[in-house]
Structure formats: structure tokens, C-alpha cells
Chain A
Amino acid sequence: MSRARILLGSATGLIIVAGLIAAPFGLKPYGIYILTLWAVTAIAAIGLNLTLGYAGQISLAQGAFVGIGAYAAALLTTHGWPLGAAYVVAALACFAIGWLLGYPALRVQHHYLAFVTLAFSTLIYLVLRNEEWITGGIYGISNIPRPSLFGYLLRSPRDFYYFCLANLALVSLAAWWLIRSPWGRAFVALRENPVRALSLGVDTRRYTLMAFALGAALGGISGVLYAPLVQYIDPTPFSLLLSLNLLLMVIVGGSGYFFGPFVGAVVAVLLPEWLQSADRLYDALGPLSDVMRFVLPPDALKYVAKHYLVAYAIFVMVLLVFRPSGIIGFFQRRFTRRKPDTPPAAPVTQAKVA
């Protein structure tokens, strides 16, 4: 890696981190809520990126683990336990369930694995909806308290946002370390060629299960943060749609790239909100808006804002048609002409699921 690239990379990173820390001061509570949702969702996407992007095991159950984490947090904290306890319980429970879900991956691969995890995801949703005695069924669980940290209650949106951002930072550091550890290398070996990995002495069985378990545990942690964020949960947000949406984030961001899930979560969580308020762009531009008017007529923006989900769907389709390796994948390849310097920047063959 050249010095210039390191400098450029760290400068970009610093600007983004500074922006994330400063952001709540310029936002209304709803804006802070959406940004917190981004941080929480990114944690689940990082988990799926470990399972799918690095280890090559496709999972359509990540949303179910977010659900398990969220219900664990909701049940424990409404019964007087601290969020820390929910953290441990949810992470361990998801790790264990994820480990068990990995067993089918030892038998079947690729699209069959996708179907098993899809079925699992829907079954968890049905349990959440139907087992009213514990989950409250369709009525859900309300009055989920915000956590306190060292005796300080994180009640305001801004405090809770910083709490979630700190969590995201910790998870990112852990994932960064993991990917560079021998485990991460073993994951990539498993993805690139399981047979070769096995013949080189990688315990593919253990690493397959581990890839599922670690990804699932991060899904659980994301859920633990989601419950106190929205303070009311019912089964609806944890249906198959969430799992598919998380998969979308990983692929659109760039599967197997460290920063992929962050960008993917921006596309899936923030972009629809931006599109929905596209017509207010002119208010934000101030004096520049007169120039912009020639480039982009206000009526066009109103139209986009009215049909924002249609616009969002078109954006995702066009993006994938032109950049199938995702946003980060595209930039990585554009700026690294030579041999890729990190294992995740290896050619994106992990998408080969057939």
C-alpha cells in the first residue's frame, strides 16, 4: 500500500468519523433516529458480511437473529434487568443458534443453504408472532427502557445515538481484527475453495460453523440495540424482508469488503429517507438553489419525493447492473490497479453461488 493511499484513506476516514460525531447537532430528533438506525443496522450487516462476504456461506436468516436479540433485550429490560445482561444473553444465544444453523451448511451449499436459512428465518418470525405468552404476539412489547451507562440514563436521542455509534465502533474494530487474524484468512480460504482449504489443513467444518455463529452473534447485538431505540417491538420488522434487506446491503455495499456493510446500510437505511425529502433540497441549498434550478427542476424533485420507493428500487437495479461487485468493490478495483493488498480485496468470486 503506497503512502499516498494510506494518507488519503485515513483523511477520508477521519472526515467521516468527525461528520458522524458532529451530525446530531445539525439534525432534528427524527434525523438522529434515522442515523442511529443506520448504526444499528450496520452492525447486523457487518455480521452478515462475515458469514457471506468473507466465509462465503449464504444466510437469509440474519434478520431473525436481529429479532432474537431485540426480543431478548425487550423481555429482560422490561423485567428490570440491565441492558448489559441482555447483551450477553442475546450474543450467546445467537452464537449458539447460529452455530446450530451452520450444520445444514455442512451438508448443503449455495442456493440450498439459502433456502434452509430462509425457512429458518420465517419459522422464527412465526414463533415471535404466535407464542403470545412470551413475546406478546402481534401486540408486541412496549415501554422498553433506554439503558443507562455508569449511572447516567441515555434518554435523549443524541445520547443514545452516541451509545450506538460507540457500539458500532467497537464491533468494527473487532471485525477488523478478526479479518486480519488467522481466522479471517481461514474464512477467505473457505470461501475461495473449500476443497483446497481442507487439503491445506483448515478445519473447514469448524470454520463454517464459526462463520455462522459469529455473524449471528453480531445480528443479536444489533437487535439488542434496536429494541431500546424504537422502545416498542412487534414481530413485523423481523420478517424475511429484513433478512433480504440485510443481504441487499451486503451485496450493494460490496460483499467481502470491510467497508461494504457501512455503505450498504447507507443505501438501504438513509437513501430512501433522502429521496423522500428530495423536494426539500432547495431549502437546504440557499443561494445556490437558483443555479440548481436550471440543472434539476423542482418539479422533478417533487416527483421523486412522491414516488421515492420506486426511485430507490430503480437506483438499486441500475447500480447492480453497472456495478455488480457493489459500491466499495468498484472503488477498490478502480484505485488498486496492481495486486490487491488485502485478502478481502481479492477478486470477487464469492458471489459465485452456483
Chain B
Amino acid sequence: MADFIQLLVAGLATGGIYALVAIGFTLLWQTSQTINFAQGEFVMLPAFFMLGAMSVLGLPFWGAVVVGILVAALVLGVLFKRLVVDPMLHHGVLPLAIATMALSLFLKEAVKDFYSAEAQPFPPLAADVNVSFLGAAVSLQSLIVVAIAIGAVVALQLFLNNTQTGRRMQATAQNPTVARILGIPVERMILLAFVINAVLAALASALVTPIYLAKFSNGEYLGIAAFIAAIVGGFNQVRGAILGGLLLGVVDNFAAAYLSAQYRAAIPLVLLIVVILFRPQGLLGRVEERTV
């Protein structure tokens, strides 16, 4: 039982991080049909912004995290939208998807060439201690990750459902044409979605980098995992991405512990294929109407 709880908490911590990244994925898809293959690199990069803020500006850790999130919002949110996405919006999904693939290569290689190819140490979120939780020893770090991830998700949900801007964003996602007729500044809402995506990715970066250290290749698995989480949960629903992320994190951890280590990576993929074939809209997704 103690093992079970340990695995569950570790799984929820991983899953919370996946969920943060997956939510951004679904936001971009809903508002502008952008499939962002650089999503993993969007998590890898802010850690280097934070390291830079600490070494160049001499900021304390939490200050550096805030600066990192702000820089990410500007570079990975606003600049990404303006320079890469905007010129390609009207040319269909695929060219843009390929451009984000090139962007992913660019970010990886640029960090490797101009910062370092070695993994950089990154300060931990909390002291490396275990706390007792329902009779099991659980690492404090995992609990903090779960708490911050849940906090971010709840804040986002409150924003989307209870503020005027949030509801405008939802309207934009559901039907941009009608939203525009109703006087909603659709362009600004789409830009906001990109900024939120960058902020969530930067937050995930601060949570995940203490575990893996800061390295240019960190985004490779995270991007795919967030992708799978978004699809399993439902590509067009923020709630779905949360469920998908948590589910994937837990399944991942249990599979590693109880099933073959070799095919551990296959479990999420099998889950993905089963969900797509039997419930293509995802566990919580809405059916998208087909256009003729």
C-alpha cells in the first residue's frame, strides 16, 4: 500500500507537469489550429532564462523564476505568434506544424551551441526530504509540484469561466466568426492564448528542471508526452488535457514499476491508439463536426 501511494504521488507529480504542457497544446489548437511540435522545447528553454537571470542579474531563485516566466511570455508567446504563426495561419495546418518542427530544432541546437551541451545544475524547489502521507514516505518535492500544478490549473479554469476575458477566449475558441460579429477582439484573444501557453510551459519548466537538470534535449520526451496527454484527454477541451496529463503520468509510473521496463514507453502509445480508435474525440472531448 505504501508503495502504491508513493507511486501514485510520483505519478501525479509527473502528470501535473504533463497536464500544464498539454493544456497549452489544446489552447493553441482551439484558438488557432496550431500544432506546436516545439512544445517540449518551450519547456526546455525557460529553465535557461531562469539560469541566466540568476547568474547575470544575480536574482534569487524565485525572482529568477518570475523573470524567466516573463521572458518566456514575451519570446515564446508574443514573438512566436507574431513571427512564426501569423504569416502562416491561412495556409493550413501542415506547413505551420513543419515550421514548429524546425523551430524545435533551432531552439535545441541554439541552446547546445550558444549555452552549453552539458546538463546544468538547477536549484531544487524544496529541501530533499520525505514527508509522511497516508502511511507512506513521499518526497516533499513531488507534493509541491502537485500543489503548484493544481493551483495553476484551478487559476486557469477560474480565469476562463469567471472573467469576461476568459469567456471571450472560450467564445473565440468555439467559433471565431461569431465571436468577431459579437465584437470580441479575436486577434487579441488568440495572442492571449499564446501568452498563457508560454507561461504554463515556463511554469512546467521551473517544476521539471530540478529533477532532470537543465539540458538542451529535455524537451524531446516532454513534448511527445504532452501531445499524447492532450489527445487522450480530448484535444478540444482544457479539462480533457488535465485528465489526460494526470492519467498519463500515473500510468507511466505504474507501468515502469509493475510491467516490463522495455515496453514502458509503449503503454502510453497503446492507450493513445485505443482512445483514438474507440473515442476519437478523447475522453472528455466534444465531437468536431465534419465539414463538407
Among A122, A316, A317, which residue has its beta carbon within 8 angstroms of that of B269?
Answer: A122
Within 8 A of B (CB), among A251-265: 251-252, 255
Would B265 and A126 count as touching, CB distance under 8 A? yes
Within 8 A of A (CB), among B200-224: 224
CB of B184 closer than 8 Å to a CB of A: no
0/1 string, B45-75, CB within 8 A of A gives 1: 0000000000000000000000000000000
Would A122 and B265 count as touching, CB distance under 8 A? yes
CB of A309 closer than 8 Å to a CB of B: yes
Using Cβ atoms and an 8 Å threshold, which residues of chain B touch A313? 102-103, 105-106, 109
Would B277 and A107 count as touching, CB distance under 8 A? yes
The majority secondary structure among interface residues of chain A is helix
Compute how far the CA of A123 lies from the CA of B270 in the bound complex, rounded to whole angstroms. Answer: 8
0/1 string, B85-113, CB within 8 A of A gives 1: 00110011111101101110110011001
Given A244-B37, A313-B103: A307 in contact with B113 (beta carbons within 8 A):
yes
Using Cβ atoms and an 8 Å threshold, which residues of chain B touch A123? 266, 269-270
Would A116 and B273 count as touching, CB distance under 8 A? yes
Using Cβ atoms and an 8 Å threshold, which residues of chain B touch A240? 224
Among B35, B101, B273, which residue has its beta carbon within 8 angstroms of that of A119?
Answer: B273
- Report the minimal beta-carbon distance from B114 to chain A, rounded to whole angstroms: 8
Would B110 and A310 count as touching, CB distance under 8 A? yes
Which of B96, B98, B224 has most chain A Cβ within 10 Å?
B98
Compute how far the CA of A349 lies from the CA of B94 in the bound complex, rounded to whole angstroms. Answer: 11
Chain-B contact segment, one of A32-40, A82-90, A207-215, A318-326: A318-326
0/1 string, B13-25, CB within 8 A of A gives 1: 0000000000000
Would B105 and A309 count as touching, CB distance under 8 A? yes
Instruction: Name the interface size band of chain A.
Output: 35 or more
Would B103 and A112 count as touching, CB distance under 8 A? no
Would B276 and A316 count as touching, CB distance under 8 A? no
0/1 string, A282-326, CB within 8 A of B gives 1: 000000000000000000000000110110111011001110111
Compute how far the CA of A307 lies from the CA of B227 in the bound complex, rounded to whole angstroms. Answer: 29
Using Cβ atoms and an 8 Å threshold, which residues of chain A touch B272? 115-116, 119
Would A321 and B84 count as touching, CB distance under 8 A? yes
Given A130-B263, A244-B37, A248-B101: A353 in contact with B92 (beta carbons within 8 A):
yes
Chain B residue nearest to A315 (CB atoms) is: B102
Compute how far the CA of A116 lies from the CA of B272 in the bound complex, rounded to whole angstroms. Answer: 8
0/1 string, A324-354, CB within 8 A of B gives 1: 1110000000000000000000001101111
Would B98 and A108 count as touching, CB distance under 8 A? no
CB of B132 closer than 8 Å to a CB of A: no
CB of B166 closer than 8 Å to a CB of A: no
CB of B262 closer than 8 Å to a CB of A: yes
Compute how far the CA of A5 lies from the CA of B94 in the bound complex, rounded to whole angstroms. Answer: 30
- Report the minimal beta-carbon distance from A328 to chain B, rounded to whole angstroms: 13
CB of A12 closer than 8 Å to a CB of B: no
Chain B residue nearest to A322 (CB atoms) is: B87
Given A244-B37, A309-B105, A320-B99: A353 in contact with B273 (beta carbons within 8 A):
no
CB of A193 closer than 8 Å to a CB of B: yes
Compute how far the CA of A88 lies from the CA of B71 in the bound complex, rounded to whole angstroms. Answer: 55
Would A317 and B84 count as touching, CB distance under 8 A? yes
Would B105 and A320 count as touching, CB distance under 8 A? no
Which of A130, A240, A306 has most chain B Cβ within 10 Å?
A130
Using Cβ atoms and an 8 Å threshold, which residues of chain B touch A122? 224, 265-266, 269
16 contacts between A and B (CB under 8 A): A58-B94, A108-B280, A116-B272, A119-B228, A129-B262, A130-B262, A193-B292, A310-B106, A313-B103, A314-B102, A317-B84, A317-B99, A320-B88, A324-B91, A326-B95, A351-B91
Given A112-B280, A116-B276, A354-B33, 12 additional A-B pairs, CB 8 A: A108-B280, A110-B93, A115-B231, A130-B263, A247-B94, A248-B101, A309-B109, A314-B106, A320-B95, A324-B95, A349-B92, A351-B95
Q: Which 10 A-B pairs have the closest CB atoms?
A: A351-B92, A324-B91, A313-B106, A316-B102, A353-B93, A324-B95, A309-B109, A313-B105, A119-B269, A320-B99
List chain B positions with a Cβ less than 8 A from chain A: 29, 33, 35, 37, 83-84, 87-88, 91-96, 98-99, 101-103, 105-106, 109-110, 113, 224, 227-228, 231, 235, 262-263, 265-266, 269-270, 272-273, 276-277, 280, 290, 292
